[in-house]
Structure 1
Amino acid sequence: MGHPRRVMAALIGLALAVPPGAEAVAVAAPSTPINDLATRSYLGFQGGLYPDGSNALPATHHAVGVGRARRVRPVDVDGVPKATGKIVLLSIGMSNTTQEFCARRSDGRCAPWSFSGQAAVDPQVDHANLVIVDGAAGGQTAGTWTSPNAENYDRVRTSGLAPLGLTENQVQVVWVKVANATPTVSLPASNADAYQLVTQQGAIARALRARYPNLQLVFFSSRIYAGYATTRLNPEPYAYESGFGVKWVIQAQINQMAGSPVDPRAGNLSYHSVAPWLAWGPYLWADGTTPRSDGLTWARSELANDGTHPAQPGEEKVGTLLLDFFKSSPQTVCWFLVGRTCA
Structure 2
Amino acid sequence: MRLLMLGGTEFVGRAVTEEARARGWEVTVFHRGRHDPPPGVTALHGDRTVPDGLAALAPGAWDIVVDTWSGPPSAVRDAARLLAGRAGHYVYISSRSVYADPAPAGLDENGPLVDASPDADDGDYATIKRGGELAACAAFGDRALLARAGLIIGPYENIGRLPWWLNRIARGGPVLAPGPRDLPLQYIDVRDLAQWVLDAAGRGLGGAYNLVGARGHTTMGELLETCVRVTGSDAELRWTDPETVLAAGIEPWSELPIWLPPGELYDMMHSGAVSKVLAAGLRCRPVADTVADTWSWLSALGGVAPHRPDRPSVGMDAEREAEVLRRV
Q: Which has the higher contact order (CA 8 A, sep 6+)?
A: 1
Q: TM-score normalized by structure 1?
A: 0.29
Q: For the pair shown, which has the larger CA radius of gyration, 1 or 2?
A: 2
Name the structure with the higher strand share: 2
